[in-house]
Every structure is written in C-alpha cells, then in structure tokens.
Structure 1
C-alpha cells in the first residue's frame, strides 16, 4: 500500500501532531511525509491511503495550503484512495466552528471518489456547539486541541492510530 501523511500548518502544531502520528504508525509506513504546500493536488491520486492533517484556521476556515488544494480538487480523481483525517482546533475560542476544516476537505475528497469512514472519533470529550467536522454523529477524524486540551494529545494519537490500523485491516483491498 502506497501511503502518505500530508499536513498543513501555520503555527507548527499540526506538524507536531503529524510527527506523533508518523511515529505511532512507524517510520516505514508512509512513503511520503510532507507539508501539503510541497505537493500539487493531482499528486494525491497516486496514493492508496492518505492521512490528511487539516487545521481549522481563523473562524472555521481551511488552512491556507489545504485551501489551495481544495480549490483545485475538482480536477482530481481519487477513486480507490482511502482517506483518514486529523485536525487541530480551538474549542474554547471557536466553539461554533470547531474542526470545520476536516469536514470540509473530507467531504470534498469523497466527492472526488475517495473512500472514507476511517478513523471517525467520538465528540463527547470536547465542549463545542457546532462543527462541520461532525458527520453521522462523530468527528470525521482525530480531533486535537492543543489550546484547551494539550495533555490529551499524545494518548488521543496513540488510540487513533491503533483504531485506523484495525480499520485498514478490515477494509478490502
């Protein structure tokens, strides 16, 4: 399986989370570990599995580098590509748009043929009022909040990576 771990970051928090995730999967799992700013949208189609690190920026916006990819995705065929998401957000400062970016990019990738439902997580350990990242009652990926809950990040990453590995084993090739 050709796998990529791609992230966008403005503050370095999403990159730090990506490093934790890469370490939990094992260094050899991902063929590509890269800031999304280094790739073209069409490059995404070459992977069988992509872990996307998409922070919510400003008030419910997609981080700039991911926004550039999002704007060009209509020309990319992601049929057969499995996707999993993680995102950074601030539930205390932005409870009405917490983790919106993962939902926006996730849905766009599904429109382009990607296969989702990998790595969905519960919402009950967060205090927010609204999120486009919630799909079918769960977050569409791993949600991290290093502003309000930094002490939970490492364990959340460990648990999520174990979950994703189990789910990938259960998905037919």
Structure 2
C-alpha cells in the first residue's frame, strides 16, 4: 500500500485520539501524520492517498485551520488522488448540520477531480440534516463522541478496513 497522509490539527485532542486508533488499524509504517496547522503545498503533494480529519464547528463550519490550508491547494487538480474523510459532530446539539464539515470538504475535493472513498451508512444516527449525506450514506466516517462514544471503536475498525481496500485499488 502507498503511504497515506493523515492531515489533522495536532492541537485537537479528541481528533488525535481517533487518529491514533486509525493508525493502529492501518499500520504505523503506512501512515505519515501531517499537522494541518503548519501544512503547506509541499506536504500535500507527497501523497496519492489521504485521510482528512474534518470536525464540524459551530453551525456547520470548517475549522479555521482547514479554511487556511485549502487555498494552498485550491488550484491543483486532485485527479488520481483518493481521499477518506472522518470527523466529529454532535447530532443532538447540532441536528440541523450534523458533520457538515465532511460534506464541505467532499465538495471541495470532488470539484478538483479527487475521489472520495470510505462512505459509511447513516443508519444508527439521529439528525435533521447533513451536507455530508448522500442518500443513505455519509461521505466519510461520522463520529459523535459526545452521544455515541461506545460505537466509535467499532465504527473506526470497519471504516479503516474499507478504506484500506479502496486505497489499494487502482
């Protein structure tokens, strides 16, 4: 398997906990962690397979560090590159925009020719609306640590198995 770049904010403790679990299932030698707070174009162009940790902030917004990073690659073609997305949300506190950050990121990637892998079922979640929803699936792994922490490890394990296969396909 080609090396995977996993991009996230090293300052986000909840995200870092989930990243460690993902890396454990992927195998440490297959993954390079990239701090999105300091990442630039050179960090991005090293990979063909990516995992983006995209939590949803406030009323369905991307965290500021993603807003600052995306312009560095906005003119790039992402054709031939694969992206797996995961992120946290709160389906009870913010049911009208649950994990919207995943949907925003997927739109950005797809407009530039990138391929999203690792869709997951919406079954088992209760929310009103999500930009991350496509039919009966999310465009990535939706984690709700606030309300469904007990399901997190199982969801991560299944998702990682799926994205490993997708990253290996041509």
Does the alignment reach a TM-score above 0.5? yes
Alpha-carbon distance in 2 for matches of 1:25, 1:36: 20
Q: Which residue of 1 aligns with 2:126?
A: 127
Shift, 1:63, TM fit:
1.1
* 1:23-172 correspondence runs (5 A): 23-30=24-31, 32-41=32-41, 43-116=43-116, 118-169=117-168, 171-172=169-170
Alpha-carbon distance in 2 for matches of 1:7, 1:74: 18
Structure 2 gaps of 5+ residues are: none
For structure 1, which segment, 36-45 or 12-21, has the greater mean C-alpha deviation from structure 2 after superposition?
36-45
Shift, 1:59, TM fit:
1.0
Number of matched pairs: 169
Superposition RMSD on alpha carbons, in Å?
1.6
Alpha-carbon distance in 1 for matches of 2:69, 2:149: 28
For residues 8 and 136 of structure 1, do their structure 2 counterparts lie closer, same or farther at Cα, with a shift above 3 Å needed?
farther
Q: TM-score, normalised by structure 2?
A: 0.92
Q: Secondary structure at the match of 1:151?
A: helix
Shift, 1:48, TM fit:
0.9
Shift, 1:16, TM fit:
1.1
**8 Å contact from structure 1 (residues 21, 161) kept in 2:** yes
Structure 1 gaps of 5+ residues are: none
Alpha-carbon distance in 1 for matches of 2:131, 2:67: 15
For residues 135 and 8 of structure 1, do their structure 2 counterparts lie closer, same or farther at Cα, with a shift above 3 Å needed?
farther
Alpha-carbon distance in 2 for matches of 1:147, 1:86: 15
Shift, 1:41, TM fit:
4.3
Q: TM-score, normalised by structure 1?
A: 0.90
For residues 42 and 137 of structure 1, do their structure 2 counterparts lie closer, same or farther at Cα, with a shift above 3 Å needed?
farther
